[in-house]
Amino acid sequence: MSDFDAQLKQSQAQVAEAQSKISEITSRIETARQQMKAGTESDIDIETATLQDVHSHTEVMNANIAELIMGLDDVTAAFSRDFDEMRSKTGWESFVGFFSRDRADALRQERLKTANIDDKLQDLISKSDIITRLLENQLKVLTDQKSKVETNLSETLDEREFTVGELEALKAEILGMDPRIIELENRISVEQDAAARTKLETELADLNKQYNELVQQEQVKLAKSQTLERYIEKGKTWVDSLQNQAATQMVLINKLMTDTKQRVVLYDALSKSLKTAQQQDVAHRINEIGVQTDQEAQTAMAAIGTATNQRMADMLEAHEDHMVFARDVLEAKAKADERFARRFAEIVKKHDSNAYGG
């Protein structure tokens, strides 16, 4: 198994574990919401340590994927050097050329013909696609989980607003009863008639009973409001976490997609460069064979020249379009690389200094 395959397998396992942890926290939030709906005791078991565990795990996971992506950049750079070497003759080809130039050219042409240029490009694109699918799957999970929590949060915010309204109404009613209770107590304290006093005391007892019931309702509503508030706080924290994780996934996906476009442009340019170099060598060899001065040859060469000029004009026009596209891709890559480097500064630093594991 190659280093890439081993690291990819590790990333896949980390993503699966991250998704399990994320789903578990969302499940706790949903369970708490169902308990509140049913009016049963709700326990929002989402401790800070649990959230931190998820964050730490996803940081390691994303760092590992970032290293995979940078590894593809290294492979691309190595292939570029290979292309440059292809354009020059090997030591063996130069040695053979000392005895037979035709044989040396034939060896070089055969080497270029059998070079796995397209295979290398397809391998890179294939690896990029594997990582992209991994990231897109993780992004979908994050988006789905965020949507679930946001739906619960929206319902809970509405319920808490209603509960707070009820609580304020109860407080106002309780506050409004105080003067009536005080008035009755004062009247009882000065009442001399036993029957009238008994009637006032009965009225006060009923009022106190009503007052106590309202205070009890206030305590229930207050407890409910506090529970809803804790739920909302935990839910918002989790939504923020999911949003931040999703942003990281999008940076990585954008980097990979832009890199793939840039690699296609790069390989296209390098392939054409190799073909052009080979055609130039053939043209030089034809020129060195000798010059035939008969009219027929001159007429044929003139026709070839006219066709060549037309072909060159067509190539120059096509080249302009290609360069505009290549420039756009390079500008997009520069932006993607900048966002990637900003979010994974430490990984880039380790990669550049070959300090992995530090």
CA distance linking residue 268 with residue 262, whole number of Å: 10
Of residues 59, 74, 17, 52, the one with CA closest to residue 249: 59
pLDDT value, residue 169: 92
| DSSP per position, 284-316 | HHHHHH----SHHHHHHHHHHHHHHHHHHHHHH
| DSSP per position, 27-87 | HHHHHHHHHHHHTS-------HHHHHHHHHHHHHHHHHHHHHHHHHHHHHHHHHHHHHHHH
pLDDT value, residue 292: 43
> How does pLDDT run across 132-155, given as a tens digit for each residue?
888 889 899 999 988 988 888 888
Determine the Cα angle at 248 with ends 242 and 253, to 5°: 125
pLDDT value, residue 213: 92
The ranges of the chain with pLDDT < 70 are 1, 39-49, 80, 82-90, 93, 105, 108-109, 111-118, 270-330, 347, 350-358
Q: Are 142 and 245 in contact (CB under 8 A)?
A: yes
Which residues have a Cβ under 8 Å from the Cβ of 117 and sit 6 or more positions away?
83, 267, 270, 271, 274
pLDDT value, residue 104: 72
pLDDT value, residue 278: 53
- Token code pair at residue 93: 């080809």
pLDDT value, residue 286: 46
pLDDT value, residue 304: 41
CA distance linking residue 220 with residue 234, whole number of Å: 21
Using CB atoms within 10 Å of the CB of residue 227, give its burial: 0 to 12 exposed, 13 to 18 middle, 19+ buried.
Answer: buried
In the block, residue with structure tokens 């044989």: 103
pLDDT value, residue 216: 92
Q: What φ, ψ does residue 290 adopt, rounded to 5°?
A: 140, 165
> How does pLDDT run across 305-347, given as a tens digit for each residue?
444 445 444 544 444 554 555 566 667 777 877 877 777 777 6
| pTM: predicted TM-score of the whole model, two decimal places | 0.66
